[in-house]
Amino acid sequence: MRNEHSQDAAENVSAERRNFFKKTAALSATAIAGTGMLAGTNAMAEDDPVIMNTPDWGHKIGYGVTKNRYGMPSPYEHNITRRNAQLLSSGNWQASIAMCPIQDLSGIMTPNGLFFSRCHGGIPTINPSEWRLMIHGLVEKPLVLTLEQLKRYPNVSRVHFVECPANGGPEWRGPQFNSIQFAKGMMSNAEWTGVYLKDILKDLGLKPNARWMLAEGIDSSHMGRTVPVDKVLDDAMIVWGQNGEALRPEQGYPVRLLLPGWEGNLCVKWLGRLEFAEEPFYAKEETAKYTALKPTGKAIQHFYANEVNSIITNPCPEKPWTDLKKGDLVEIEGLAWSGMGTIDGVDISFDGGDNWVEANLKGLVLPKSWTRFSFLYKYEGKPLILASRARDDAGYIQPTIDQEVSVMGVESVYHRNGIASWEVTSDGKVNNVQVRSEFKDVDGKMTIVGEA
């Protein structure tokens, strides 16, 4: 209903029109750019013009259902996008990563167009009718499937996050990004639809000496990774669906491997070949990269699960508290996840991790999935160091940065899940900080400087 003041006008359109033109002339001095129709003759300075006036969308007919047959977000949301940084690219944008704007997501599902994206040889455009999956090696019955045949298997849908194990990896030595999108945006969460690999293998006769599976992509990078059969026979999925529609090209269209909770890189996209073998394959992305170098000089290879982790999404550098006034009640909100199980609980600290209180979980709490946490806080305009600490049902709790660095050093690159903190300044600005001790390195052993 048009925001008119006069009962007569609402009942009598022609009277209203006459009124309108008179009023428009009278009000031209207070017209507000961007509003189409001016209505309130009685508008006072304290009245909000967007309430007093009728904007274009309030009286002009909108566009038809024939436009945007595949729907798009409001054009006003154009700043909510994935983002890149040259620092996180291997020379070109075809071997690079696009970070998910986790600061702007709600709930636990990531819209497919905002899902973080990583590729090693660009994103291929694959014709689904020319896609094949080959399963061979140590199986009694090797198999070739078309996409139609694959989709004939009874399907399951599961909500899981996919996280690059380098999420947060640029910050082992200290904070670098004053942005949650770049500090923690190498991850997203979706409902995946596909078939459990163990259900396909039932008919293929996996040989007893099969210990490892190679998963290989058919894109130009032909990226491969070795997976232990334990995971294959537990919850490994071959998926074609993402949040109710086909996988997006960036997520491996038409088919990817999904290893719930494990390194995103292991969830091979544009999947084409699965080979079972007695010995591992030593692919490039499990030797040169995705190995975590420790101060001992030894590197962890086959580092599978993304460990328990969390981050406060509100506030964060992109979503500060600068609009709050003392006494306002505000929800501290965040995401917790674990590739090793289900989130059991999350604690919040206001003093950089010295003292903790338990937050509430909210919404769906699912295994190997993003889980929301919430804490209601009375804003006092005081400086804070906000931190969150998640734990899971396998018994893990997030380490402090000191605990993690003492084992992993600062050259690990991957699997950083130490407690993250935000500095909230007295004027509500939010900055990325780390609460940590200074270390020295004594013959492969990390030691805290100044510790008794």
Site for other proteins in 192-231 (CB under 8 A): 196, 198-200, 202-203, 211, 214, 216, 220-224, 226, 228-231
Q: Which residue's CB is nearer to other proteins, number 246 or number 448?
A: 448
> What is the footprint of other proteins within residues 357-386 (CB under 8 A)?
357-361, 364-367, 375-378, 380, 382-385
> What is the footprint of other proteins within residues 35-74 (CB under 8 A)?
none
Least Å distance, CB 39 to other proteins, is 23
Among 251, 273, 312, 336, binds other proteins (CB under 8 A): 273
- Tell which residue, 418, 411, 448, 410, has the closest CA to residue 435: 418
Among 275, 315, 324, 333, binds other proteins (CB under 8 A): 275
Distance between CA atoms of 39 and 20, rounded to whole angstroms? 7
Q: Does 438 bind other proteins (CB under 8 A)?
A: yes
Distance between CA atoms of 39 and 4, rounded to whole angstroms? 6
Least Å distance, CB 143 to other proteins, is 5
Q: Which residue's CB is nearer to other proteins, number 27 or number 196?
A: 196
Among 112, 272, 330, 425, binds other proteins (CB under 8 A): 272
Stretch that binds other proteins, among 1-9, 50-58, 249-257, 332-340 (CB under 8 A): 332-340
Among 302, 330, 425, 429, binds other proteins (CB under 8 A): 302
Q: Does 240 bind other proteins (CB under 8 A)?
A: no
Compute how many residues bind other proteins; rule: CB under 8 A: 178
CA distances to 30, 49, 129, 309, 410 from 438, rounded to whole Å, are: 60, 55, 57, 23, 12
Contact 309, 336 (CB under 8 A): yes
Q: Does 86 bind other proteins (CB under 8 A)?
A: yes
Beta strands in 283-324 (DSSP E): 292-293, 299-300, 309-314
Distance between CA atoms of 293 and 401, rounded to whole angstroms? 17
Determine how many CB atoms are found less than 10 A away from the CB of residue 112: 17
Q: Which residue's CB is nearer to other proteins, number 69 or number 202?
A: 202
Among 90, 113, 130, 322, binds other proteins (CB under 8 A): 90
Exposure string of 204-216, with b = 16+ CB inside 10 Å and e = fewer, is bebeeebebbbbb
245-246 and 271-277 as β-strands: parallel, antiparallel, unpaired? unpaired
Q: Does 451 bind other proteins (CB under 8 A)?
A: yes
Determine how many CB atoms are found less than 10 A away from the CB of residue 344: 19
Q: Which residue's CB is nearer to other proteins, number 65 or number 87?
A: 87
Least Å distance, CB 332 to other proteins, is 10
Amino acid residing at 177: F
Distance between CA atoms of 377 and 375, rounded to whole angstroms? 6
Least Å distance, CB 425 to other proteins, is 11
Q: Which residue's CB is nearer to other proteins, number 5 or number 136?
A: 136
DSSP character at residue 155? P
> What is the footprint of other proteins within residues 133-162 (CB under 8 A)?
134, 136, 141-146, 149-150, 152-154, 156, 158
Q: Does 330 bind other proteins (CB under 8 A)?
A: no
Stretch that binds other proteins, among 44-52, 61-69, 244-252, 339-347 (CB under 8 A): 339-347
Contact 265, 225 (CB under 8 A): yes
Phi first, then psi: give them for residue 321, nearest 5 degrees.
Answer: -110, 25
Q: Which residue's CB is nearer to other proteins, number 26 or number 376?
A: 376
Distance between CA atoms of 96 and 87, rounded to whole angstroms? 9
